[in-house]
């Protein structure tokens, strides 16, 4: 999904429009009596959300909408993916009440919905910073898929119809993992280089093939499959500003070539037993022309690559990601390691 599209913001609103009993902003409504089978957030419009606050225990996060994406504030204003925000909005907007449980505040503690003292709290804010609504999520009921939940400003607790997808209050869970982005089938070649050693994999035939194999040698399919599997998941652990790690040396790199000519380069570093990655993208016009379908114009083949590279560099150019050692091990693999 392109960064400029917050598709769920419209989709969720459309789903809810036939089920809600009220319209407008929730902060303007009167107290609602929850009915069995009704949505918890009646009248909720995700398109109006410009801020999100999540708190659980000692962890608390705040997101603010900036232009057409959300920023994780307090973490150097890090741009989270729209997919992550969409999942939060959809999972909260889809909460339905299976049954009303209690409106007695004395029971809130036992149900885990006492508020910020120990529950999961999620709040949504409008464009001017006004609170739209907040919910308090408690424990689940044994033997039932749902969980106890209430609107933050109301006493009534209900039991949800389904389990809530994970909504995390940990910053690490919002670090981008789309390196390289898109579908695996979008890529035609991977080049790995570490010092004087290098190897490349041709992915165009549906089976990874080691390029430039010497005569009378053949590739070790198992070793090749293991390297490719490693490089298809980005093992991120933490996040830093690129300027804060300016003295790192970057001796290894991985170049991922996509069909449209976009080349995503991940450079790797190691220091004191820790491993780091930084990322950038360029549009390879020659590669785009070579990969374009017969009859496509050069402009049609290269413009998507230019757009993709620009969006990627905007999101990742200022950051260094701490990762586990697996990618460095893959980059240090030699061609000989991939041959029988």
Predicted confidence (pLDDT) per residue in 185-227, tens digit: 999 999 999 999 999 999 998 889 999 999 999 999 999 999 9
Q: Are residues 192 and 159 in the same domain?
A: no
Helix (H) or strand (E) holding 66: strand 59-66
327, part of any domain: yes
Q: Are residues 36 and 81 in the same domain?
A: yes
Q: Are residues 239 and 317 in the same domain?
A: yes
Range of the domain at 50: 7-173
321, part of any domain: yes
Q: Are residues 290 and 218 in the same domain?
A: yes
Q: Are residues 267 and 208 in the same domain?
A: yes
Q: What is the per-residue pLDDT across 284-334, written as a single tens digit (0 to 9) for each?
A: 865 545 554 433 333 444 787 888 899 899 999 999 999 999 999 999 999
233, part of any domain: yes
| Parallel/antiparallel/unpaired status of strands 197-202 and 262-271 | unpaired
Q: Are residues 162 and 271 in the same domain?
A: no
Q: Which of 136, 56, 144 is nearest to 92 (CA)?
A: 136
Q: What is the per-residue pLDDT across 41-96, written as a single tens digit (0 to 9) for each?
A: 988 999 999 999 999 999 999 999 998 889 999 878 999 988 899 999 999 999 99
Q: Are residues 153 and 191 in the same domain?
A: no
Q: Are residues 265 and 211 in the same domain?
A: yes
In the block, tokens 């809530």 appear at 164
- Distance between CA atoms of residues 200 and 188, nearest Å: 11
57 Rama class: left (phi>0) / alpha (psi -120 to 50) / beta: left
In the block, tokens 């190897």 appear at 199
Instruction: Output phi, psi for 74, to 5 deg.
Output: 80, -5
Neighbouring-strand partners of residue 253 = 193, 267
Name the domain boundary from 148, 173, 198. Answer: 173
Residue 30: is it exposed, middle or buried by C-beta count within 10 angstroms (0-12/13-18/19+)? exposed
Q: Are residues 188 and 331 in the same domain?
A: yes
> Measured between alpha carbons, how far is residue 228 from residues 118, 197, 221, 269, 275 in Å?
42, 17, 10, 20, 19
Residues 6+ apart with CB under 8 A from 116: 55
Q: Are residues 154 and 194 in the same domain?
A: no
**Domains: count for the chain:** 2
Name the domain boundary from 122, 142, 173. Answer: 173
Q: Are residues 35 and 164 in the same domain?
A: yes
100, part of any domain: yes
Q: What is the per-residue pLDDT across 241-292, written as a single tens digit (0 to 9) for each?
A: 999 999 999 999 999 999 989 999 999 999 999 999 999 999 886 554 555 4
Name the domain boundary from 173, 206, 237. Answer: 173
Q: Which of 263, 264, 277 is nearest to 324 (CA)?
A: 277
What do you get for the CA distance between the two ends of the chain, in Å?
40
Q: Are residues 332 and 209 in the same domain?
A: yes
């Amino acid at each position: 999904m392109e960064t400029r599209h917050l598709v769920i913001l419209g989709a969720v609103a459309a789903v809810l429009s036939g089920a809600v009993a009220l319209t407008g902003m929730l902060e303007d409504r009167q107290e609602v009596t929850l009915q069995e089978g009704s949505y918890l957030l009646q009248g909720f419009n995700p398109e109006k959300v410009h801020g999100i606050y999540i708190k659980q225990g000692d962890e608390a996060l705040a997101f603010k909408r900036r232009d057409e994406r959300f920023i994780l504030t307090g973490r150097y204003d890090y741009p989270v993916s729209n997919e992550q925000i969409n999942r939060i909005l959809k999972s909260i907007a889809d909460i339905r009440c299976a049954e009303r449980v209690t409106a007695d505040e004395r029971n809130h503690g036992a149900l885990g919905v006492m508020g910020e003292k120990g529950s999961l709290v999620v709040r949504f804010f409008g464009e001017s910073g006004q609170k739209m609504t907040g919910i308090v999520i408690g424990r689940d009921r044994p033997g039932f898929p749902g969980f106890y939940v209430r609107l933050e400003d109301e006493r009534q607790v209900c039991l949800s119809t389904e389990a809530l997808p994970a909504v995390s209050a940990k910053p690490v869970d919002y670090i981008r993992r789309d390196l390289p982005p898109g579908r695996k089938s979008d890529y035609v070649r991977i080049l790995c280089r570490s010092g004087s050693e290098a190897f490349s994999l041709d992915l165009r035939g549906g089976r990874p093939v080691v390029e430039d194999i010497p005569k009378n040698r053949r590739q070790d399919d198992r070793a090749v499959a293991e390297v490719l599997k490693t490089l298809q998941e980005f093992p991120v652990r933490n996040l830093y500003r690129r300027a804060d790690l300016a003295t790192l040396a970057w001796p290894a790199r991985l170049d991922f070539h996509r069909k449209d000519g976009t080349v995503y380069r991940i450079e790797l570093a190691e220091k004191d037993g820790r491993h780091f990655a930084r990322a950038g993208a360029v549009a390879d016009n020659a590669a785009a022309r070579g990969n374009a379908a017969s009859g496509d114009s050069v402009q049609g083949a290269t413009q998507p690559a230019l757009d993709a590279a620009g969006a990627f560099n905007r999101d990742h150019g200022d950051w260094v990601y701490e990762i586990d050692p697996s990618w460095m091990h893959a980059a240090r693999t030699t061609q000989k390691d991939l041959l029988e």
